[in-house]
Amino acid sequence: MVKNVLKKIYTYAIFLFLYMPIIVLIVFSFNSSKSRAHWTGFTFRWYLEMFKDRQIMTSLYYTIIIALVASFIATLLGTVAAIGIVYLKKLPKAIMMNLTYLPVLNPDIVTGISLMLLFIMLKFPRGFFSMLLAHITFNLPYVILSVMPKIRQLDNHIYDAALDLGATPSYALTRVILPQIAPGIFTGFLLAMTMSIDDFVISFFTTGPGVSNLAITIFSMARKGVSPKINATLSLLFGFVILSLLIINNRMNRDNVRKEKVI
């Protein structure tokens, strides 16, 4: 009994330590004054001023556009790559899996500087498109690793069965395979979009003048002193991430329930 209580206290203490800074940030985003230590009253002032701030809104525009486009392209390429990797022979498959894990394990600063040097060597102008290409690059492995488990769960003969019944390869892929792995594709897309919105290091090294996402803008503003508008912006970002996680978990739970019913 005592052991179970101690385990619960330890678990709650860990989560409190992890989320207390975020809770403080969200609470003080509603503080009526600029003070970051004293509560003076409740207000939505900083949220309204955030939407009036042209710099933040421009950064939000670039953040959303790059996240959506990069996630869509990465999901498309990653899904095709995952299907191809699963059906490779043992040795090529092992090599491709190691190459897929490498960008995930690689420090962001190494990836960011490498991409920056590549763009400089190719004389590719740094700005919107360089940042977009960088986001597609680091999102690809996450999509592949999200889609592959769903492909492995498929019956190995389902594609051949569709072909035997008269389906063309493209029809079998779009009407048989893709609907079966759709939860993994959707999860990969949401994960890629979250990673894109969250990224700072790679974006910092691959962007150019006049193009900044929210992470870069908030970093620049924070060096001059943390404004309550930043608290409001980060609170909305945290809310978006929580919403994305709830959607992902709901999709996964529904998928598991569906499988249990089939079994």
pLDDT recorded at residue 263 = 53
Banded pLDDT at 41 (limits 50, 70, 90): confident
**pLDDT higher at 237 or 146:** 146
Give Cα separations from 14 to 19, 223, 246, 249 (angstroms): 9, 29, 21, 22
Distance from C-alpha of 243 to C-alpha of 229, rounded to nearest angstrom: 21
Distance from C-alpha of 184 to C-alpha of 191, rounded to nearest angstrom: 10
| pTM score, whole prediction | 0.81
Averaged pLDDT for residues 202-218? 88
CA end-to-end span of the chain, whole Å? 37
Chain segment 57-100, per-residue pLDDT in tens: 898 889 989 999 999 999 999 999 998 888 888 888 888 888 88
Banded pLDDT at 1 (limits 50, 70, 90): low
Contacting residues for 117 by C-beta, under 8 A, at least 6 apart: none
Residue 53 sits at φ, ψ, to 5 deg, of -80, 115
C-alpha count within 13 angstroms, C-beta hemisphere, residue 12? 6
Distance from C-alpha of 23 to C-alpha of 17, rounded to nearest angstrom: 10
Q: Can you spell out the DSSP letters for the chain?
A: -HHHHHHHHHHHHHHHHHHHHHHHHHHHTTBSSS-SS----B-SHHHHHHHH-HHHHHHHHHHHHHHHHHHHHHHHHHHHHHHHHHTS-HHHHHHHHHHHHHHHHS-HHHHHHHHHHHHHHTTPPPSHHHHHHHHHHHHHHHHHHHHHHHHHTS-TTHHHHHHHTT--HHHHIIIIIHHHHHHHHHHHHHHHHHHHHH--HHHHHH--TT---HHHHHHHHHTT---HHHHHHHHHHHHHHHHHHHHHHHHHHHHHHHHHHH-
- Does residue 170 register a pLDDT over 90? no
